[in-house]
Amino acid sequence: MTTADGAWRAGADGDGQGDGAAPEGWEAPRERWLSTVVRPAFGPRSVLLEIVARLLIPAILTFSVFLLLSGHDRPGGGFVGGLVASMAYVLRYVAGGRHELAAGLPMRPNGLLALGLLVACGTAGAPLLFGRPILETFSFSTVLPVFGTVKFASFLLFDIGVFLIVVGLVLSVVAALGARMEAEEEEARVRRPRREGGR
Amino acid sequence: MLIFALVLHAAFAVLLPPLVRVLGARVFFVASLPPALAVLWALSQAPRIVSGRPISASVAWVPALDISLDFRVDALALAMVVLVSGIGAAIFCYSVGYFHADERGIGRLASVMVLFSGAMLGVVTTDNLFALYVFWELTSVTSFLLIGHDDRKEQARRAALQALVTTVGTGLFMLVGFILLGGIGGTFRISELVADPPTDSPWLPVALVLILVGAFAKSAQAPLHFWLPAAMVAPTPISAYLHAATMVKGGVYLVARLAPGFADVDPWRALVLTVGLATMLVGGWRALRQDDLKLLLAYGTVSQLGFLIVLGGTGTQVAAAAMIGTLLAHGFFKSTLFLTVGVIDHQTGTRSIAALTGIGRRMPVLAGAGALAAASMAGLPPLIGFVGKEAALEAFLPGHVPAPSPAAAGVMLAGLVVGSILTFAYSARFVWGAFADKETVSERRFQSPSWAFVTAPVLLSAAGLLLGVAPQAADAVAQSYAAPLPVGDKPYHLALWHGFGPTLGLTALVIAAGALLFAARRTVEQAQKALARWPEAELGYHLFVHAIYAAALSVTRRLQSGSLSVYLGVILATMLALPGVRLVAALVNGDLRLPFGSEEFRIWDSPLEGVVAVVLIVATIAVAREHRRFPALIMLGALGFGVAGLFVLHGAPDLALTLILVETLTMIILVFVLRRLPSTFNVRPNGWTKRFTVLLCSAAGTFIAVTLWLMTDARTATPISGGFAERAEEVGGRNLVNVILVDFRALDTFGEIVVLATAAVAVASLVLLNRRSRVMEQNGAETPEENGAETEDAKEGTAGPRAGIGTKEILGNDLRPDGAHQPNEGGE
Amino acid sequence: MSAPGFILVIAVAVLYSSGFYLLLQRSLMRVVFGITALGHAANISLLLTDEAITLPPLLTGHEGELSDPLPQAMTLTAIVITFGVTTFLLALAYRVWLGDGNDEVPNDVEDRRIKQLSEPEDSA
Amino acid sequence: MNLLLVIPFLVPLVGAAVTLLLRRTPRAQQAASVLVLAAVVVDAALLLAKTAGGTVATSQAGAWEAPLGITIVADALSALLVLVSSVVLLVVLLYAIGQDIGGLSRAMPQVFHPIYLVLTAGVCLSFLAGDLFNLFVGFEVMLTASYALITQAPTRARVRASMIYTVVSLTSSILFLTGVALVYGLTGTVNMADIAEKLGAAPEELRMVLALLFLVVFGIKSALVPMHFWLPDSYPVAITRISAIFAALLTKVAVYAIIRSQTLLFGRDDISAVLLWMAIATMIVGILGALVQDDINRVVAFTLVSHIGYMIFGLGLNTVAGIAGVVIYLVHHIVVQASLFLVNGLIRQYVGHTSLRAVRGLTTVSPALALFFLLPAMSLAGLPPMSGFVAKVALFKAGIEAGGWLVYLGVVAGVLTSLLTLMAIFRIWVRGFWGTPMPDMVEARAQLRSGSSRAGLRFTTAMTGVMVGVGITVAVMAGPLTDIAFTAARELLDPSAYIDAVLQKGPS
């Protein structure tokens, strides 16, 4: 019988994703990816899948940035871009397992969430400093040597915030419901006999 | 000054508890300062007040609701202030001797008593109906706390709650009555209402009856009197102060306060006279058979309160004068008697008539004071009790006064005489029981009380004597109060001697019959026992409470099922019952018409749409019917992609794109979770429940779809989105959906990403956390830091799942101290 | 004016009905499915407030009436919110499974206890 | 004006991001949260000062004029509720910090603060939203945060409770979204002021259907009978700080939404009879439930259901006095519920649970605790001189002025409920606070007082005292409060000023 007694110690350590003392699951070897000898999340290790994943991921990430930037004129935008980008990581997890996922992350999901929120809040609140209403858009154009006239607008920043948060969400969920559960299953496998007896 | 006195009471209530450590029981001396000050001030102002110039003060509180702390001290209030604060000060001094320094919660006690004193002062001086209610209920609450002072006794707790529920419950009636009365009269100032009473509203009798109910309960009128004898579990000073001298007079005061204005409104007089007289007789009769001196006095109090209600509510000048006299008399003699009993109880450890003997010999001073007070109660000259009773009998001599009608007055007179006889008898019985030598009883050993302890009863009984010998003071107050009332043949004054007349004869009759009744006390006791006992009034209370709890249980048992599906089903049913029924009614009546056959009606906009719709319908039904997890998941995926297809058809590429991505992610995550769960769902057997569920859900779904159809068909204005296209140029974006998301309505998006971020954090904390707890469990370890310190969740967690006790068992072992009880969130 | 085609009305009715039906099941996973279905239903409802115009709301200079972008924007917000909340429900289902070995929504314990009382516990 | 209206939700969100980053330094996190909420309190006070006289403050997000952009709008009611909510949120936060300092609770302090601040933002946004869809988003922000909070320190019971809570809330959200779709389908707009104008042209029957549907949507969240069952099964189970906030605020936000929607949007149609019947049922069923509970938290939760009935009663009167009564009741009840749940939290600290079957003699265990229970208990029972008395008088008076047999029935139900509340709440006092303390309680107290958690215990007790003090302040300030309530009620019943402010003046 699994007690759910919430035996949780306040302040014992981070919520599992604190960077310093990251608990197991995040102890990824800092090797080049796809060279880790870990079982992937599903089924046996598939070289084909890995290679396809490796080839696709940069393309997916680039595409997601494109969607983000072009969203104002074409279908796309922060949501779609963020979802596409996180697909890349999901693919990476499915292909390479949880250690792979951990190794490939630019920063912890909570960090992404906080950063995204800050960017969005900043964009939203900046006009207030000038006595304007919240979320008012401001834009300016400059002429860059290579790109020609580039228009920069604050809603782009806002969309980046959206992008970051969407990525943060998906990673967080994959980390929790995928990687974490996988790690647990491994632990559980060791203890299985005892637990079966208890049921 | 009056306001200052009230504030002083409150301030002392706060200051007293810390002082206990220094002063011990002497803290009551300090506590007596505010009431002493109040009474001194009132006496100093007495000449002015009696001459008809009341003192007013006011503090605004909630003017918009007419709740205002207005004060007005007139003659009636003056008499009450003397009782409340004067007797209060004396009783506080008495308490110094009564309570030991190590008495439990003595600071709390003193504090609440001062608070009560202040509240009571407020009751009798306020001039606003709401303010009256405020102070009134404050006395109820403080009384509750004081009755329950000895809270380790079951009896005390019971009595306290009973008193509270009775007085506050009826107080609510009174509040409604006040609101009605103020609404009718257009003002909530009592003086204005009484001076210019409204007469024409049909609601006026209702208001008055409601107010009287509150007053009757507070003044322990039959059949609501049961709480008062029960309240005698409180320490004696409290009984003396609250339940004899002051609080219970609240009802009398209110009746007397309103009588000048409303005594002539039906059914005021009938109600007041009947209830008052009945109470007087019941109380007196019951007092005759009590063995406990305190209970004897309590029933005596009930009887006297009935008497006072009669006098106060009659609304004639003589009765009013009698009321003032009796009011003062009762305050002084009853508090004296209680304090006397307190001394006896304190010294001998008993207050049972059957166990007391020789007290008079051993405590002559106390016995003297007690006897004097009892004489006043019995209505013997030259005490104030006699003065009051003479006036009372005079008030109901047929023909002397215009109201009540002569026949009624005759009945009343007879009743009062019988009541007075009973009063005489139990007064005598009290004196005999408390002080007389009884051969059959063996004498107890006890110490004589200190002089300080006896001072208060002596002083109070002396005050009764003084007022009796010099009734002019009381008369002045009485005249001032009674002035606006209808006059009889000639003005009546409170005095010891009115010459020979019918009242004197009646008094003689009372004394003779009373003495006889006392002499035949054994016969009376046996007669009382032999009589079939009529149902105790308390039974009514218990029936009421039990009925309430039984109703509560049966309602809650039936409704609060604990099952989520039932809850949701009821919600759907409610949706069908409110807007659903409305819609159906409108359709049936023809107020609304479904767009069948109209120009707008069409099966689909394009055949492709039809195909997508069919896919949707099939996939949806399949999801609902599928009992295996993975097939259900696949159908859900199909459903999602079908919706995306519909989005494409309706010109929403952004949505389609987003939905496809979201669906894919959802599927992946679902697979993460699903692969751990059993491969099929547990399903309920087919049966009427299931059929009913299907019916309910279909009805709900149909309702929404039909509403949507009607709403879109009946669109009243062109959508505002036209504006977006015009303004998009300013923004410089061409994808309107995205422009809306990040610019026009960016605030929605902002909120939405907050939702996402929160959900992400929530998921992480939920899954990560559980792991840790499992690790803990595996090690069999409780959290280490809580060796001993009971933390908030520790008990819930440990006691929950492990203690697998059945419900029946828990009930049986309700209070088992070994922890077998199952607190808060018991497990399975 | 802009009422949707009849078959779509039926589809919406079926979606809502099935969603509600799934919601009333004991298995939390089916409840999640129900929420998803209801989310779809609500989103389609939002979209159906507009006539079926296939031209997406992109200002590309093409001729023709554009579909209404506002319900689309709201739908998009709603889709994403539903997604976030669904993941939470899934985590909850997982958590329940860990505790109980199944994903059923049990009845409330305290309510059950009171259901079994036959007499009020105190009437004082 | 832009700034004042935005701070109540923007600053907490910034705070949420910052505290999420500060996970590993609890002290900094605590300081940041306290600062944020203090700022919101100050801001709300200023906002109330601006709007108390009857001005409607608006701000157009993104500087787009009203029906296109989203309006943030505060009238007297919104500003008042933001102020009261933020004060309560601040005090509960301090209480929670006290618990964390003393190690008295095993919630997750790291993510508690960010989510708590998100909840704050959601509550404030809901009060200030001038746009129906934005109101939906505000609700979602608040609810998502609440889903996260109710599973803090998840025991089995809590997971079970959170299932009930989450699924019911989601049902309500979906119906809300459906309602938005229906409104947009009918009127082609989502700005509330705009809807109010455009609904005038719609068929009356359709308006009624919408009004009733929205009553159901918000009725679920505000636990109107018969949609209340989830509340007593979920709120009392959460950890103290959470149940205090939930009980104090979440249902009130829904009541606010009912008030706003039924006056502004559907004010021209009369659903008084439905409201009154629901109010009566809610009062009676709720309080009957409270009488048979054994757990103090559950008793209080059932009284919460019951007293929502009072507010709906006032709304059903459809008069200025009635709605003013509702406003006073809202303010009073927010503070009182929070106080009572905090007291229950203290009881849990002392005893480990709140079951009346095993709690005795709390007055002896802690006199301060007893006082802090007694005062709000009196207030809840409507005993003077507490705020509950003023609120009740306001409602009864309004009812008697309004007249009509159904209203009188409502007043009778109100009186009865008042009496039963007294019985239910003083039953706790008599059974739990009086009597001889159980031996384990005395022992636990001794250990608590000597142990390392002493400072935390003192702090939490002090904060409970502060909350009780806030309640007393409400009573003392009842005069000005009532004036504001009347202003708010007039604004609600005649929304032309609101509509003008939102639609015509444009960005200010």
C:21-80 residues touching chain A, CB 8 A cutoff: 56, 58, 76, 80
Give me the DSSP letters along B43-85: HHHHHHHHTT--EEEEEEEEGGGTEEEEEEE-HHHHHHHIIII
Chains in contact with B via at least 3 Cβ–Cβ pairs below 8 Å: A, C, D
Q: Which of C76, C80, C91 sits opposite A177 (nearest CB)?
A: C91
Contact D23 A134 (CB under 8 A): no
**Does residue B497 belong to the interface with chain C, where contact is any CB pair within 8 Å?**
no
**B147-199 residue pLDDT tens:** 999 888 999 999 999 999 999 999 999 999 999 999 999 999 999 999 999 88
Q: Are the C-beta atoms of residues B191 and B76 closer than 8 Å to each other? A: no
Flag whether C47 is in a domain. Answer: yes
pLDDT of residue A23: 40
Residue positions counted in chain B: 828
Residue D157 and residue D159: Cα distance in Å, rounded? Answer: 5
From the number of C-beta atoms within 10 Å of its C-beta (0-12, 13-18, 19+), residue B444 rates as middle
The ipTM is 0.92
Nearest residue to C23 (alpha-carbon basis) of D230, D399, A175, D170: D170
The answer to whether the CB of D58 falls within 8 A of the CB of D1 is yes
Encode pLDDT of D125-144 as tens digits.
999 999 999 999 999 999 99
In a domain, C61, yes or no: no
Residue D179 has pLDDT above 90, yes or no: yes
- pLDDT at position D356 over 70: yes
Task: Please count the other Cβ atoms lying within 10 Å of the Cβ belonging to residue B99.
Answer: 21
pLDDT in tens, B61-112: 999 999 999 999 999 999 999 999 999 999 999 999 898 877 888 889 999 9
Q: Which stretch of B702-716, D268-282, D443-457 has the lowest confidence by average pLDDT?
A: D443-457
Question: Which domain does D495 fall in, by range?
Answer: 2-503
Q: Both tokens of residue B120?
A: 């009571």
Q: Report chain D's mean pLDDT, rounded to a whole number.
A: 92
Separation between Cα atoms, residue B591 and residue C5, nearest integer Å: 22
Domain boundary among B481, B502, B519: B519
User: Within an 8 Å CB–CB cutoff, is residue D227 touching chain B?
Assistant: yes
The partner residues of C58 in beta bridges, in order of sequence, read: B735
Three-class SS state of D358: helix
Look at D133 and C74 and tell me if their CB atoms are within 8 Å: yes
Q: Is the pLDDT of residue B250 over 80?
A: yes
Closest C-alpha to D274, from D262, D260, D285: D262
Q: Which residues of chain D make contact with A12, given a CB cutoff of 8 A?
A: none
What does the block give as tokens for B131? 């303010």
Phi-psi region of C117 (alpha: psi -120 to 50; beta: other; left: phi over 0): beta
Kindly identify which residue of chain A lies nearest to residue C86, measuring between CA atoms.
Answer: A173
A103 in contact with B, Cβ within 8 Å: no
Segments forming the whole domain that contains residue A71: 47-198
Give the nearest chain B residue to A122 (CA atoms). B750
Structural domain contains residue C79: yes
Q: Reduced to 3 states, what is the DSSP secondary structure of residue D167? A: helix
Q: Do C57 and B697 touch (CB under 8 A)?
A: no
Same domain, B280 and B336: yes
Residues B87 and B245 sit within 8 Å (Cβ to Cβ): yes
B574·D144 Cβ contact <8 A: no
Residue A54 has what pLDDT?
81
Q: Which domain holds residue C28?
A: 6-53+67-115
Residue B125's contacts (CB-CB under 8 Å, 6 or more residues apart) are B2, B71, B72, B73, B77, B80, B81
Q: What is the pLDDT of residue D174?
A: 96
Cβ-nearest to B67 among D67, D104, D390: D390
Residue A118 sits at the chain C interface (C-beta within 8 Å)? no
Q: Which two tokens stand for residue B229?
A: 């004898």
Dist CA B98 CA B455 (whole Å): 12
* Mean pLDDT to the nearest integer, C30-52: 90
Q: What is the pLDDT of residues D20-54, one digit of tens each?
A: 998 888 889 999 999 999 999 999 999 999 999 98
Q: What angle do CA A62, A68, A74 make, to 5 degrees?
A: 110
**Which residues in chain C touch residue D167, judged by CB atoms under 8 angstroms apart?**
23, 31, 35, 89, 105
pLDDT in tens, B411-432: 999 999 999 999 999 999 999 9
State how far the Cα of B654 lies from the Cα of C57, in Å rounded to an integer: 10
Residue B71's φ and ψ, nearest 5 degrees, are: -125, 150
Same domain, B288 and B213: no
Residue B784 in this model has a pLDDT that exceeds 70: no
pLDDT above 90: residue D330: yes
* Minimum-distance CB partner of A71 among B735, B766, B767: B735
Q: Is residue C104 part of a domain?
A: yes
| Among B488, B504, B519, residue at a domain's last position | B519
Please name the residue of chain B whose CA is at the shortest distance from the CA of residue C76.
B655
**Touching D: A residues 126-145, CB under 8 Å:** 127-128, 131-137
Q: Which of A110, A121, A158, A173 to mutate to test the interface with D (most CBs of D within 10 A)?
A: A121
Judge whether B567 lies within some domain. Answer: no
In a domain, B465, yes or no: yes
Neighbour tally for A189: CB within 10 Å:
8
D144 CB near a chain A CB, below 8 Å?
no
Q: What is the number of other CB atoms lying within 10 angstroms of the CB of residue B473?
A: 17
**Residues of chain A with C-beta less than 8 angstroms from the C-beta of C72:** none
Res C105: pLDDT: 79
DSSP state of A141: E
Coil, strand, or helix at residue B434? helix
d(CA B430, CA B422): 12
Q: Range with the lowest mean pLDDT among A34-43, B325-334, D86-95?
A: A34-43
> Are D259 and D125 spatial neighbours (Cβ–Cβ below 8 Å)?
no
User: What local confidence, expressed as pLDDT, does residue B105 receive?
Assistant: 85
> In angstroms, how far is CA B296 from the centroid of its own chain?
28
CA distance A125 to A119: 10
Quickly tell me which residue has 């059914």 as its tokens.
B267
Are residues B371 and B502 both part of a single domain?
Answer: yes
- Provide the sign of the torsion angle of the four alpha carbons B359, B362, B365, B366, taken in this order: negative
Which residue of chain C comes nearest to B653, CA vs CA?
A: C56
Would you say residue D279 lies in a domain? yes
Q: How far away is chain A from the Cα of B161, in angstroms, using its nearest Cα?
A: 38
Helices (DSSP H) in B74-153: which residue ranges?
A: 75-81, 88-98, 106-125, 129-147
Mean pLDDT of B207-236: 93
* Interchain CB distance below 8 Å, C40 and B643: yes
pLDDT given at position B458: 93
What is the pLDDT at residue C124? 45
In a domain, C102, yes or no: yes
Closest CA to B76 of B480, B358, B407, B419: B480
Residue carrying the six token digits 């707008």: B600
Identify whether A18 is part of a domain: no
Q: How far apart are CA D396 and CA D418, in angstroms?
A: 11
Chain D residue closest to C99 (CA)? D156
Are B813 and B757 in the same domain?
A: no
User: Residue B100 burial (CB < 10 Å; 0-12/13-18/19+)?
Assistant: exposed
Which residue in D has a C-alpha nearest to residue A154's C-alpha? D62
C86: domain CATH number is 1.10.287.3510
What's the rounded Cα separation, in Å, for the pair D455 and D451? 9
End-to-end Cα, chain D, rounded Å? 7
What's the pLDDT at B533? Answer: 67
Under the banding of pLDDT at 50, 70 and 90, the label for residue C62 is: low
* CB-CB neighbours of B381 under 10 Å: 18
* Residues of chain C neighbouring D356 (CB-CB closer than 8 A): none
Look up the domain containing B739 and give its range: 598-714+723-776
As a whole number, the mean pLDDT across chain B is 86
Chain A partners (3+ C-beta pairs within 8 A): B, C, D
Average pLDDT over residues B309-325: 92
Query: Is B321 within a domain?
Result: yes
Token pair in block for residue B647: 């989005």
| H helix runs in B714-814, sequence order | 722-731, 736-739, 746-778, 794-802, 807-812
Interchain proximity B747–A76, CB inside 8 Å: no
Within-domain flag for D508: no
Closest CA–CA distance from residue D215 to any residue of chain B (Å): 9
Number of structural domains chain A divides into = 1
Does C62 reside within a domain? Answer: no
**Number of domains chain B contains:** 4
Instruction: Name the B residues in 683-742 with CB < 8 Å from any A CB.
Output: 731-735, 737-739, 741-742
Helix axes D320-351, D251-260, angle to 10 degrees: 170
- What are the pLDDT digits (tens) for B335-391? 999 999 999 998 888 889 988 888 888 889 999 999 999 999 999 988 999 999 999
* Coil, strand or helix at D268: coil
What's D199's DSSP letter?
G
Most confident of B130-144, B445-459, D96-110, D258-272: B130-144
Residue B506 lies in a domain: yes
Residue B557 domain-assigned? Answer: no
Kindly tell me if the per-residue pLDDT of D104 is higher than 60. Answer: yes
**Tally: H helices and E strands in chain A:** 6, 2
Question: A140 has which bridge partners?
Answer: A152
Instruction: Verify whether the Cβ–Cβ distance C24 to B700 is below 8 Å.
Output: no
The reply to whether C103 falls in a domain is yes
Q: Which residues lie below 8 Å from residue B518, measured CB to CB, with a gap of 6+?
A: B424, B425, B428, B429, B432
Rounded mean pLDDT for each run of 10 residues along chain A, 199 residues in total: 35 36 41 49 66 86 89 84 91 79 77 92 90 84 74 84 93 83 72 47
Contact B181, B211 (CB under 8 A): yes
B203-207, B355-359, B380-384, B815-819: which has the highest mean pLDDT? B203-207
Give the one of B742, B747, B777 whose C-beta lies nearest to A3's C-beta: B777
pLDDT tens per residue, range C83-118? 999 999 988 888 888 777 777 877 888 888 888 887
pLDDT at B802: 32
| pLDDT, greater one: D454 or B698 | B698
Chain D residue numbers with beta carbons less than 8 Å from the beta carbon of A136 are 62-63
CA B110 – CA B97 distance, rounded (Å): 13
State the Cα–Cα distance between residues B707 and D208, nearest whole angstrom: 12
User: How large is the average pLDDT for residues D275-285?
Assistant: 96
State the pLDDT at residue B600. 74
Is residue A111 included in any domain, yes or no? Answer: yes
Residue A192: exposure state from Cβ atoms within 10 A (0-12, 13-18, ≥19): exposed
The mean per-residue pLDDT over the stretch B773-785 comes to: 38
Tell me the CA distances in angstroms from C108 to B811, D164, D228, one per residue in order.
Answer: 18, 9, 14
In a domain, B558, yes or no: no
Do B219 and B303 fall within a single domain?
Answer: no
Encode pLDDT of B38-62 as tens digits.
999 999 999 999 998 999 999 999 9
Nearest to B171 by CA among B121, B136, B220, B127: B136
A195 contacts chain C (CB < 8 A):
no
- The pLDDT, as a whole number, for residue B134 is 95
Whether B767 is covered by a domain: the verdict is: yes
Give the separation between CA C122 and CA B226, rounded to whole angstroms: 20
The dihedral built from the CA positions of residue A21, A27, A31 and A33, taken in this order, carries a sign that is negative
Q: Which residues pair with A148 in a beta bridge?
A: A144
**Given an 8 Å threshold on Cβ–Cβ distance, is B665 in contact with C83?**
yes
Same domain, B256 and B348: no
* pLDDT digit string, tens, across residues D463-505: 999 999 999 999 999 999 999 999 999 999 999 999 999 987 5
Residue B223 and residue B324 in one domain: no
Higher-pLDDT residue of B777 and C109 is C109
Task: Show residues of chain C in contact with A169, CB under 8 Å.
Answer: 84, 87
| Percent of chain B residues topping a pLDDT of 90 | 59
Provide the sign of the torsion angle of the four alpha carbons C74, C80, C84, C85, taken in this order.
Answer: positive
Q: How far is A35 from chain D (nearest CA, A)?
A: 32
Which residues are registered as beta bridge partners of A139?
A153
The two beta strands, D71-74 and D57-60, are: antiparallel
Choice between B36 and A135, residue whose per-residue pLDDT is larger: B36
**Residue of chain D minimizing CA distance to A1:** D156
- Going D264 to D268 to D270 to D272, the CA torsion angle's sign is positive
What pLDDT is attached to residue D160?
A: 85
State the total domains in chain D: 1
Phi, psi (rounded to 5 degrees) for B277: -65, -45
pLDDT, position B697: 96
Give domain status of residue D424, yes or no: yes
Residues of B in contact with C124 (CB under 8 A): 157-158, 161, 545
